[in-house]
Amino acid sequence: MRRVIYFVLALVIWILLTWPFVEGHLDGQVFLAGIVAAAVVAVLFQDVLPPEHHVFRSPKRIVWFVLYVPVFFYYVLVANLDVVYRALHPKMPIRPGIVKIKTSLTSESAITALANSITLTPGTLTVDLTDDGTLYVHWINVRSDDVDEATRMIARRFEYFLERIFEEP
Amino acid sequence: MSEVIGYILITIGVLFDLFGCIGLVRFPDIYNRLQASTKCVTLGTILLLAGVAAASGQGAIIAKALVCAVFILITSPTGAHAIARGAYASGVPLWEGSVVDRYGADGHGASPAPEKHPCES
């Protein structure tokens, strides 16, 4: 069943990417190639993507996801201005280091989303994570190397949303 | 009108890409450079895609831009994470001005001799 879902998903993405410019005309060869590619993807990656479909079944989670998108983009923008400032400043005001943070999230997708969000947002880059929810984060401007303090500064703002999207029954 | 917005977005996107590259050159070690390259290049490229979508105004191109943007948002931080972890594991040191290294303190990083190369065995 999961294979079928991935096949359809991959085919939809393929069609979106190869949609012909002449409207209403779909190139048969391209479509055939898409079916082959989608089938290969579905067979190869059926076990790679996390099996957490419940996220897409509950409207409440989707609403939280939609709310998360603008928040996320706001932090991405702030992150960029911050990095641009540090890169262009003649004295280059950086104070880098690797700190440790602990997350309360448990599901695999939630931790993946958290790690990627951290990487894209202000001055932080996830270096590694362990099974018990510890993340090692490279911070361009270390403000606290205490585990709890750093967690509060880096991860709390995302955990609030990710918990509601991926966890909480 | 939408064309003007598109070109403004493309300009801002290219500027972010440029600043990211300046950061890439100026920052002292691989971890700081990754910060500059992932953040600025991700946003710059997404703004470029948004600009192309706005300037063209065609459904097909907007759909393509959207798919590419989502793809970049997922792969770019994942790639940066893999590079940073790989660099640390193979012993690339942090810049000497770094203030703390909890990762090394917890016993990660380059071990003096790996037990066995993964290609053997």
A84 contacts B99? CB cut-off 8 A: no
The more confident residue out of B118 and A115 is A115
User: Do A106 and A158 fall into the same domain?
Assistant: yes
Q: Do B34 and A99 touch (CB under 8 A)?
A: no
Query: Are A119 and B38 an interchain contact pair (Cβ–Cβ within 8 Å)?
Result: yes
Looking at residue B112, its pLDDT comes to: 40
Rounded Cα distance between A156 and A146, Å, is 15
Model confidence at B79: pLDDT above 80? yes
Do both A149 and A92 map to the same domain?
yes
Residues A36 and A100 in one domain: no
Between B14 and A117, where is the model more confident? Answer: B14
| A81 plus A125 within the same structural domain | yes
Q: What distance in Å separates residue A32's CA from the closest CA in chain B?
A: 19
A115 or B117: which leads in pLDDT: A115
pLDDT at B18 over 70: yes
A26 with A73, same domain?
no
Say how many domains are in chain A: 2
> Looking at the structure, do residues A85 and A162 belong to the same domain, yes or no?
yes
**Pair A26, A20: CB distance under 8 Å:** yes
Query: What contacts 24+ positions apart, CB below 8 Å, involve A5-11?
Result: A5/A53, A6/A41, A6/A42, A6/A45, A6/A46, A6/A49, A7/A38, A7/A39, A7/A41, A7/A42, A8/A38, A10/A37, A10/A38, A10/A41, A10/A42, A11/A35, A11/A38
Cβ distance B40 to A80 less than 8 Å, yes or no, reads: yes
Average pLDDT over residues B50-71: 85
Average pLDDT over chain A reads: 75
Q: Please check whether residues A130 and A74 belong to one and the same domain.
A: yes
CB atoms A119 and B81 under 8 Å: yes
Confidence (pLDDT) at B115? 43
Residues A106 and A155 in one domain: yes
Report the distance separating Cα B112 and Cα A85, nearest Å. 38
Q: What is the pLDDT of residues A96-140, one digit of tens each?
A: 777 777 777 777 777 777 888 887 776 778 877 777 777 787 877
Q: Is residue A57 part of a domain?
A: no
Q: Are residues A97 and A15 located together in one domain of the fold?
A: no
Give the end-to-end CA distance of chain B in Å, rounded to a whole number: 63
ipTM over cut 0.90: no
The predicted structure's pLDDT at residue B11:
92
CA distance A146 to chain B (A): 10
Evaluate if residue A92 carries a pLDDT over 80.
no
Q: How far is B112 from chain A (nearest CA, A)?
A: 20
Taking 50 as the threshold, does the pLDDT of residue B104 lie above it? yes
Look up tokens 């190139």; give the residue. Answer: A27
Q: For residues A157 and A99, state if they share a domain.
A: yes
Domain presence at residue A11: yes
Are β-strands A124-129 and A97-102 bridged in parallel, bridged antiparallel, or unpaired? unpaired
In this prediction, what percent of chain A has a pLDDT beyond 70?
A: 81
B60 has pLDDT over 60? yes
Is residue A30 scored above 80 in pLDDT? no
Flag whether pLDDT at A84 surpasses 60. yes
| pLDDT reading at B72 higher than 80 | yes
> From the list A88, A128, A142, which residue is nearest B99 (CB)?
A142
CB contact under 8 A, B39 and A20: no
Find the CB nearest B67 among A17, A23, A87: A17
Q: Please report, for chain B, the start and end positions of each structural domain, with discontinuous segments joined by +.
A: 2-93
Indicate if A104 and A147 belong to the same structural domain: yes
- Specify the amino acid at residue A98: I
Range of the domain at A17: 2-44
Per-residue pLDDT at B87 exceeds 50: yes
Tell me what the mean pLDDT of segment A16-20 comes to: 72
Interface of A with B in 102-161 (CB under 8 A): 115-117, 119-120, 123-128, 136, 138, 140, 142, 145
Q: Cβ–Cβ of B27/A79 closer than 8 Å?
A: no
Query: Is residue A31 domain-shared with residue A80, that is, in the same domain?
Result: no
By CB neighbour count within 10 A (0-12 exposed, 13-18 middle, 19+ buried), where does A66 fall? exposed
* Two tokens, residue B113: 């001799």
Chain A residues with CB-CB distance to B75 below 8 A: none
pTM of the model: 0.75
Classify residue A94: in a domain, yes or no.
yes
